[in-house]
Structure formats: structure tokens, C-alpha cells
Amino acid sequence: MTQNNIRQILSKHQVIPVVNFNNVNDVEQTIESLIEKKINCIEITLRTEMAFECVSIAKKLNLNNFDVGIGTVVTADQIRKAMDLEVSFMVSPGINEKLAPYFEESDIAFIPGIATPSEIIMGKQLNWDTFKFFPAHLFGGITSLKTYGQVFPDVKFCPTGGITEDTHSSYLDLHNVISVGGSWLI
């Protein structure tokens, strides 16, 4: 059960919309729009003051088979709030050994961000095997993921950062990419 079953969550969602809400009134309409597009998940970033309120609103919609996750998780306090809100998954832009126990003890699926081989090795030392590759477009994109697939054959990735409607399927064609995240869906 690596990373509290993150692969199970990601395998249900080839494309994960990454959304930064600036208005709490946009949550319900955005989720309805995603469902119309047959997308049953959302990653709400914690980049605004109202982010946790938006997560709470999304959770209160009580939608069946719709996963609400949070992104830009960088503190233990954010992990505790995620536990209180019972989110489906957590995404961090980086990897940090001090946060590792908080992620693992949360019982919430999580995926830390990496960009370099050293960060992948750090994650593997924590017995993790699934990472957000971020920001993908700045760190070699598909070419880097092909190389990582040869060097780390047991590792899976969810690339985000610069993924577009035009490029996302090329990423998904890679054997080591389990899903992609992006903002083009909104």
C-alpha cells in the first residue's frame, strides 16, 4: 500500500484537473462542468486564502465516485486539515523527509513532487514509487520521463506543469506515466 494507495486513485483518473479557485462561488459550477466532460476528480490548489473553504464546499456536494484532492501541500498543518476534510488525495510540489511521516500517517493517498534523479532516489529510500513530475515542461518533459523510465523502471509518474490539451496524450503514451495533471480542462 505504497503512499496510501495513490496508484489506485491515479489509475481511475488519467487526467486530473488542477484548479486554483479565486471565488468560492465557482466551485459547484466547475465541478459540474468537469462531470459533464466525464472527469470525476479535481485537485484544488492551496494557493489562495479561500482554498480550504473551496475544498469544504466540494466535499459537501457529496458526489458519488468523484475524488476531491488538494495540491500545493507543503506543511504538516495542511495535511491535518486535509484529514479533517477527508480529501481523497494530496499532492505536494516537492519532496521533504520531515513531511513524510505526516503524509504516511494521514491514511490519505499522496504524491510528492520531484524533478531530478536525486529526488526520485530520496523518495525510493522512503519506499515511495509514484511521483508528480513537476514542473514537467521546465525539466525536460517527455524526454526526461523516457530516461527516468529506463533508470527507474518500477517508478510511475503524474507529470504536471506545462501539460496542455495538445501534449497530454503524448505523456500518457509513456509506460511510466499513470496520469497527467493540468489546468487546461477548466
Average of per-residue pLDDT across 47-65: 95
- Beta strand 89-91 pairing with 67-71: parallel
**Location of C-alpha cell 510540489:** 93
Structurally, the chain folds into a number of domains equal to 1
Cα–Cα distance, 80 to 41 (Å, whole number) = 21
Domain containing residue 79? 2-182
Q: What is the pLDDT of residues 157-166, one digit of tens each?
A: 999 999 999 9
Q: Is 37 annotated as catalytic?
A: no
Identify whether 43 is a catalytic site residue: yes
Q: What is the pTM of this model?
A: 0.96
For residue 107, what is the domain's CATH number?
3.20.20.70
User: How far is residue 69's CA from residue 111's CA, in Å, rounded to a whole number?
Assistant: 11
Catalytic residue among 53, 132, 146, 156: 132
Over residues 126-153, mean pLDDT: 98
Q: Are strands 113-114 and 15-19 parallel, antiparallel or unpaired?
A: unpaired
Among residues 28, 38, 43, 86, the one annotated as catalytic is: 43
Interior CA angle at 56 toward 52 and 60, to 5°?
170
pLDDT at 168 over 90: yes
Pick the range with the lowest mean pLDDT from 27-31, 45-49, 60-64.
60-64
For strands 113-114 and 109-111, give the pairing: unpaired
